[in-house]
Amino acid sequence: MPLYYDYQLKLESDVTSSSELSLFVFGAEDAWAVLGEAPAIGTDADGDPLDLDLLLNTFLGSRWHRLLGRWQLRPLPGVTHTLSPYAGVTRRGLLSEGVAVPVLAGTTLDVPTDELNWGGRDELSVRVAPWLRLSVGAEHHATLSTVQLIPGAELLDIPVPEGTPSAVRASVSTSAAYGEVQLGPTAGLSITPAVRVELATLRFDETDGLAFYGGSSHSTIDNLTIDPRLAGRYQVARGFTLKGAVGLYHQRPRTQSAAFDTDGDALASPEAVHLIGGFESQLSEALSLDAQVYGVRRMQLTRERARLYDPTFSSPPVSGAGSFDSEGRGDTLGFELLLRQAPSKWLFGWVSYTFSRTEVSLGDHREPSVPFPFDQTHNLVMVGKLLLPWQLTLGARFAFVTGNPRPIPDAVSVAHDLQYNGYTPILSTLRSSRLAPFHRLDLRIDKRFTFSWASVIAFLEVINSYNWPNPEVVFPGGDFRAREVRTLLPGPPLLPLVGAEVEL
């Protein structure tokens, strides 16, 4: 079953009447644990039994820790200077970047990495006039890591022949400068033009100095991008506001794809054009409605050329060294609704609904475009809290989400081993079926105890109150020729939690 841990600690202080200092330490870990006796799952290259706990956490586990500082100074009226440095460490599992096991979702594995992260932002904001604010800033983010070129070699104890490149040191950084002008509100109209200029640099060095990148042990990618953006709001009447935004966005290429790209042609930074429009309406003193439609056009998505669709052979299940390009594309269309009850003496809650459709074209399917592996068409969330006497609170949260697309077993692509009387599936990449919808109801009751030195909230929370299985991963059952599926990794069962929160 999945386990999740997190922690937060924040310290704040007013250094002077015009400056504030804060430190924020936080982190989280996603882990998996086997309840009961673990089944045998095979052996490594030396014949030793594989540890299912270790295997699950290597594939699915991840953890990160961060220390964030923030110093805000107001030297003059209307002037704010904010400095926010940070540092941390990250452990990424094989699937930590949203990449699913190929036999379960038709995509490639990631490789586990340990990262050292640091960076910061420096921003200056000046209120020139009641209708004019100027903001400029700079930021830098850096990551050092080692990318394993043979996924699973360490876990499965696979020997690497001498002279074979096995890992590269990766140094990834982004440096950016940005500025925006907030005009308004004037006659109910506010306009905010902005621009961001960013340089993304990715450098790779084979750890033993072996030739890996076209006869060299080094590879460098430098991508300079300029992103203009514009947002606006117009108050048509009291309690009703129109809003919209359009902008260009870039992100650096994924570290693993860039590290495995050996053809000498640098990858471009994936880009996206966002278009958003909507309104905000105050239906009553306590009830509001927020609605918006949006569209995203994605270009320059990274593709692995070894996985381009060819009916004569199956795509490799694991990414490897080879040729990557930036010819992929994708689109998203959708709308969002948020109905919110503002906190009152007795009640608080909200209902949100999102309809979204995301398709990508990466050349690795028979069809020109297919749903994104984590496309979720419908997403409904309802949250409510009832405040009772005696400092008691009742709460409930319900969620319904469309299941993710998944590949289906292709009946003509099943190998039957006569010696062992076993079947080996070769799954279609066609994502024409989905996991079952996810739905869950969580309940909570808590009571606050107030003391002179602190307040304590004791609570009872019931996760998945009606014990719906919500499979995380399913696998074809039987001999793979039927559409029968078996749940491989179920979601959390009915889980009562008792605890306390202390506020000093």
What pLDDT tens digit does each residue of the chain (504 aa) get? 667 788 999 999 998 999 999 999 999 987 767 666 666 656 655 666 666 666 666 666 778 899 999 999 999 999 999 999 999 999 876 654 433 333 333 344 455 578 999 999 999 999 999 999 999 999 999 999 888 777 666 655 667 777 788 888 999 999 999 999 999 999 999 999 999 999 999 999 988 888 888 778 899 999 999 999 999 999 999 999 999 999 999 999 988 888 888 888 889 999 999 999 999 999 999 999 999 999 999 999 999 888 888 777 666 656 677 889 999 999 999 999 999 999 998 999 999 999 999 999 988 877 888 888 889 999 999 999 999 998 899 999 999 999 888 755 444 455 555 554 555 555 555 555 777 899 999 999 999 998 888 889 999 999 999 999 887 666 555 555 555 555 556 677 898 989 888 887
Q: Is 426:371 a contact under the CB 8 Å cutoff?
A: no
For 452-492, how does the pLDDT look when each residue is reduced to its tens digit (9 = 90+)? 888 899 999 999 999 998 876 665 555 555 555 555 566 77
Count other Cβ atoms within 10 Å, centred on residue 419.
5
In residues, how long is the chain? Answer: 504
Comparing CA positions, the residue from 268, 336, 326, 282 lying closest to residue 301 is: 326
d(C-alpha 223, C-alpha 251), whole Å = 10
Q: What is the DSSP string of 321-386?
A: SB-EEEEEEEEEEEEEEEEEE---SSEEEEEEEEEEEEEEE-S-SSSS-EE-TT--SEEEEEEEEE
Is 11 exposed, middle or buried, given 0-12, 13-18 or 19+ CB atoms closer than 10 A?
exposed
Domain boundaries, given as residue ranges, for the chain: 380-504
d(C-alpha 284, C-alpha 29), whole Å = 42
Residue-wise over 376-405: b if at least 16 C-beta within 10 A, else e? bbebbebbebeeeeeeebebbbbeebbbbb
At 104, which helix (H) or strand (E)? helix 102-105
60 secondary structure, DSSP code: H
Rg, Å, the chain Cα set? 26
For 317-342, how does the pLDDT look when each residue is reduced to its tens digit (9 = 90+)? 566 778 899 999 999 999 999 999 99
